[in-house]
Amino acid sequence: MDTERPDIEVINVNKSFGENHVLKDFSMSVSKGENLVILGKSGSGKSVLIKCIINLIQPDSGKIVVLGQDISDLDQDEIDKLRSRIGFLFQSNALYDSMTVRENLEFPLRRHWTREQRQKGAEPAVKEALEDVGLAHTIDMMPAELSGGMRKRIALARSLILKPDLILYDEPTTGLDPATAREISELMVSVQEKYKATSVIISHDMNCIRITSNRVIMLIDGRCYANDTFENLKLSKDPKIREFFD
Ligand SMILES: Nc1ncnc2c1ncn2[C@@H]1O[C@H](COP(=O)(O)OP(=O)(O)OP(=O)(O)O)[C@@H](O)[C@H]1O
């Protein structure tokens, strides 16, 4: 039996904004090395859940444990330290347009520079992360010179630069054409294999979910409505689940 503690534990979390009860006694856990997809309609609370996990939003009740730490017990320094172990891939990519690819990748390093990295300099880490996403040749280019798919890869490289234990992906394939979306999904799998990182992926791209997920949680009406593999959910006859597949 696997007795290792999950990397993320969300236990009976409630979160409301005024009358809008977004998360209702919501619980989930994500094991080490797992790729978990959170699927839900627009406005169902997927981003709120992710923001609770990184403590950008505080739940009204319940408990969240990330990489073994109860986040409600942490002070700002401890939160910053925890966040340095988490890679984020935003829907917008959040690259700085006025910086080269190299400078964009150096940015998180400079904030969380370890002594070893300071001695080695940023170059090896930047090159390794770019090689991981197949874009070593773009190191001195500007984001505007790259295609949408390449920018997404650069954003992924930046989220890998601190060798995260956990990667959070917010709709990683939205806005990409199907072939590029597939490439990004396959890249997410290869990154997971290399870094052994745990991933939480918000997505409604069924192809991306099929390629990347080990397990899918469906967030409906603030609750975990279904929790199963993509293949099993695909066979479900439940109308609420079928809506996502048909
Ligand atoms: N800071 C906030 N203040 C008030 N309401 C909020 C806030 N953040 C989110 N909400 C509300 O919480 C609900 C869930 O929002 P959330 O952004 O998590 O949805 P989502 O599932 O990520 O949707 P999408 O797929 O469109 O990104 C929405 O009704 C939204 O209006």
Q: What is the pLDDT of residues 102-161, one digit of tens each?
A: 999 988 887 777 777 667 777 888 999 999 999 999 999 999 999 999 999 999 999 988
Q: What is the pLDDT, as a whole number, of residue 239? A: 94
Sequence-distant (6+) residues with CB within 8 A of 87 are 159, 160, 162, 164, 166, 167, 168, 197
- CA of 45 from ligand 1 middle (Å) equals 5
More confident residue, 92 or 164: 164
Complex ipTM tops 0.90: yes
Residues 74-93 have a mean pLDDT of 89
Residues with a CB atom less than 6 Å from ligand 1: 17, 20, 22, 40, 42-48
- CA of 16 from ligand 1 middle (Å) equals 10
Residues 68-80 have a mean pLDDT of 92
- CA of 225 from ligand 1 middle (Å) equals 18
The two structure tokens encoding residue 77 = 């320094």
Predicted confidence band at 1 (pLDDT cuts at 50, 70, 90)?
very low
Predicted confidence band at 3 (pLDDT cuts at 50, 70, 90)?
low
